[in-house]
Amino acid sequence: MRRTVAVVGCGGMGFKHALNCRDIDGVQLISVCDVDSEKGTELSKITGATFYQDFEKMLAMEKLDALIITTPPIYRKEFIQKAVDKNINIFVEKPLSISKEIGKEFCDLVESKPIIHSVGFHLRYAPITDKVRNILDSHEVTQIRTVTATSYYIDMDMPRWFLQKRFSGGPLFEQSLHLLDLSRYLFGEIININGVGKHLLRSNRSFDIEEDLNSEDTIILNSEFANGILGVHSESCANLKFRWELEILGPTISILVDYANNTIIGSILDGDKIENVNINQLDADWHKIELDCFFKDISLRDNSTELKVRSDFFDAQRTVSLMTQASKSLRDKL
Ligand SMILES: NC(=O)c1ccc[n+]([C@@H]2O[C@H](COP(=O)([O-])OP(=O)(O)OC[C@H]3O[C@@H](n4cnc5c(N)ncnc54)[C@H](O)[C@@H]3O)[C@@H](O)[C@H]2O)c1
């Protein structure tokens, strides 16, 4: 059976998911929506989907099975509310929200509704993550170290709102949460988190950081997991190069999972022998895998098969709560 889909928010991720829809069996992108008619028209031309500037009009005109929401986090309430009213399945990009209260409202809306809901944490779907899970089955972990680093404040090669806290929640919600959500997925809940954040480049770069670009560029977080593991996270938006890393340490394991390069390197103790780990994953589009799981769940919903979505609204809300706690700890210290 053909599933009809619309995308609202025709920026970077809207394009990405819209193009991926074309490669998923049984899925047809029929409409796209954006307040910016230039972006919406461009995506419409590429995909053949009808462009709407008015979301309500799109819902009135089109019969949708699923809605993909890729607007900035603070512009989502209307779309989620109206989609839920019509029992339309929802895929929303991370973060679910930058507000714990609004995230809770979204969870309340979907609770006991007959819809599939998914939040875009694509690292959970990476084949390399499945390899890590297999390795972890037989090793005790005592510490993890995660890194998210970008050149945002140096190259300014992202949408401006990424660095405007009122829109994005800053790099904690924009970048760090990818690795912290992945950590929750692999190691369980984090019960304590706190840190220090600074905006160091303001004083020593040749260009002026404009007033509204008010995010930290350098953050360190400490965390404690419910199972006792201790974690350290390092965030930089003032780095030469893109890095997303997870380092896993324990008495029989010492590995680095490099998501920027799609590799796992390090050592594990196998019996009484130390084995080298050197895994290069074949290329896979992690965003496409997560979208495919969302549509599979829509098709399988009535069967008792285990759902494939790895982050529904309720799970994603726990990551929102965690990031809220981390963000509050930065404010307290600054
Ligand atoms: N999972 C990932 O790898 C990944 C990567 C980048 C961004 N993201 C997330 O995806 C989301 C979108 O990011 P992006 O990079 O695509 O941003 P973007 O700025 O490129 O695109 C956002 C689009 O939403 C449109 N928009 C804004 N308000 C709207 C409204 N009220 N109605 C309709 N359209 C509206 C804008 O005009 C723009 O075209 C964010 O939540 C971001 O954190 C995820």
Convert the chain into a string of H (helix), E (strand) and C (coil). CCEEEEEECCCHHHHHHHHHHCCCCCEEEEEEECCCHHHHHHHHHHHCCEEECCHHHHHHHCCCCEEEECCCCCCCHHHHHHHHHCCCEEEEECCCCCCHHHHHHHHHHHCCCCCCEEEECHHHHCHHHHHHHHHHCCCCCCEEEEEEECCHHHHCCCCHHHHCHHHHCCHHHHHHHHHHHHHHHHHCCEEEEEEEEECCHHHHCCCCCCCCCCCCCEEEEEEEECCCCEEEEEEECCCCCCEEEEEEEECCEEEEEECCCCEEEEEEEECCEEEEEEEECCCCCHHHHHHHHHHHHHHHCCCCCCCCCCCCHHHHHHHHHHHHHHHHHHHHHC
Residues of the chain scoring pLDDT < 70:
202-211, 302-305, 332-334
- In ligand 1, the atom with minimum distance to the C-alpha of 10 is 39
Structural domains of the chain ordered from first start? 3-120+286-308 (3.40.50.720), 127-282 (3.30.360.10)
CB 39 within 8 A of CB 11: yes
From the number of C-beta atoms within 10 Å of its C-beta (0-12, 13-18, 19+), residue 270 rates as exposed
Q: How far is the CA of 324 from the centre of ligand 1 (A)?
A: 20
152-201 tens-digit pLDDT: 988 888 999 999 999 999 999 999 999 999 999 999 999 999 999 998 88
Query: Which pLDDT score, from 0 to 100, does residue 99 have?
Result: 97
Q: Which residues line ligand 1 (CB under 6 A)?
A: 8-14, 33-36, 39, 70-73, 75, 93-94, 120, 122, 159, 174
pTM across the whole model = 0.96
Q: How far is the CA of 18 from the centre of ligand 1 (A)?
A: 13
Q: How far is the CA of 151 from the centre of ligand 1 (A)?
A: 19
Query: Which pLDDT score, from 0 to 100, does residue 334 have?
Result: 44
| Cα–Cα dist 285/298, whole Å | 20
Q: Which amino acid is at 244?
A: W
| Cα–Cα dist 103/95, whole Å | 9
CB 298 within 8 A of CB 74: no
Query: Which pLDDT score, from 0 to 100, does residue 209 have?
Result: 57
Q: How far is the CA of 331 from the centre of ligand 1 (A)?
A: 26
Query: Which pLDDT score, from 0 to 100, does residue 211 have?
Result: 64
